[in-house]
Amino acid sequence: MDFLSLEYAALLGGAVVLYWFLPWQQVRWLVLLTASLFFYFQIQQQYVWLLLVMAWVNFWVAGQLSRSQAPLRQWLLVMGIALNSLLLVGFKYIPFLMTILADVTGLRAGTAIAEWARSSIVAPVTLSFYVFELIAYLADVYGGAKPATSFLEFATYKLFFAKLLSGPITRYHHWVPQLRQPAQWQSRNLWEGWWLITSGIVKKGVVADNFGVFVDLCLRNVERAGSGDLWLAIAAYGVQIYFDFSGYIDIVRGSAQLFGFQLPINFDFPYFATSVSEFWRRWHITLGNWMRDYVYIPLGGSRGGLGRTCFNLMVVMVVVGIWHGANWGFIVWGVWHGSALVGHRLLIASGWGSGFWRTTGGAIAAWLATQLVVLLGWIPFRLPNPVDLVQFCQRLWGQSADPQFASKVYVQSLGLSAGQIGFLLLLVLGWHGILYWGDRYRINVNPYLKIFAIPLLLFFVGLMSPAERPPFIYFDF
């Protein structure tokens, strides 16, 4: 079920009406759970049972954790984390791991298993996000938080359809109070929710998908593209992935707000960061917080000296890369960002240029350097296949475009020149800057203006979105 479809609008609208019409708390939970199961059934019906079984097993393990004493508690935690992790590995990483085994040992069985897994195993949509939330829940209960006492309540939280597919990663103990003490009906939730949903649809349908057309055309013709075209594609992909994912999050948070729920913010204008560390505090915030709390801090965080801190940062980013997918390109992306974080930490420790970075010129230089690092890092993320990645990088400098490339991409397919696409990128950056300025100075748009603008913006999306709308990028993870 597409988030930009009438089917989703109908499901959301029907669930909202029933939720607010029914006064009984547990019946409201049942409405949300039923809507969530129906939603997932429309996407991947063969795995509905798996999501329910995983929820039940973790619900049971958490209950045992709260009632047990050491060392049984430690074994239960390890068992629960291992079960969730093995499920993730079994569905997503077997082909990759078996290919590595075959390459290292020469065993034909590894290749055979990898080929069988690629053709036979279809990973459940949402598995990575689902597993991370479950691991966080078990770790929090082990740390002393109270477990869920009602499976209906826990399943409603875990399977809530708005956030089910790609987050934001929401922790049980942060969000469940909203289920237990639901907000009273307020008209503000209605128009603010639809405003967020509309904003997300504009980001996805107008900005991300249109730039995505150009990116796909360039990357399907790398051998014909010139270096300038590829740099333009890198910048366009940076815009595409941000507006695609943040647009999805806006739709999710807006959908939740219709029920009176506040989901965590996942983006805070990351492309205005002036360091890679700041970028990761603003990009995919809930994933960053998860990694900090359940990987970085347990490894020792920054408590073991500079060397240990740098090692921990690298481990965290490699894990982030592997979490995104079983491919060397994602590992390269993780190592790239890990190296950038380590470099930034070493720069701070050395004190080099500390006075310069606090000046206006230093801030501009830091912003440009950060964006260059981030944009270059998107190359292995978008092209995780090593062969494609090497070919792309080889053509980044000193290469002229095939004459047919400009005709096919700019004239026939897009009707825009490279300069016009560059201008559109600057226009989007400027618009984003206005939004950033308004957010920092807490400038609120008049609610009546929002209500008036919603149908106009949706009509605009219908006019400007491409004929073929690709799925959200993060649905692959």
Distance CA 58, CA 49 (A): 14
CA distance linking residue 374 with residue 279, whole number of Å:
9
Strands (E), 365-470: none
324 is catalytic: yes
Interatomic CA distance for residues 324 and 205, integer angstroms: 24
Rounded-to-integer distance, Cα 328 and Cα 289, Å: 24
Tell me the torsion sign for CA atoms 20, 24, 30, 34.
negative
Alpha helices by DSSP H, listed for 259-324, are: 276-282, 285-291, 297-299, 306-324
CA-angle at 360, arms to 354 and 366, nearest 5°: 60
Query: What is the rounded distance in angstroms from the CA atom of residue 376 to the CA atom of residue 393?
Result: 10
Q: Which of 324, 337, 344, 432 is catalytic?
A: 324
Cis peptide bond upstream of 168, omega within 30: yes
Contacts of 58 (CB under 8 A, 6+ apart): 80, 84, 134, 137, 138
Instruction: Count the neighbouring beta carbons within 10 Å of the beta carbon of residue 341.
Output: 22
Catalytic residues: 324
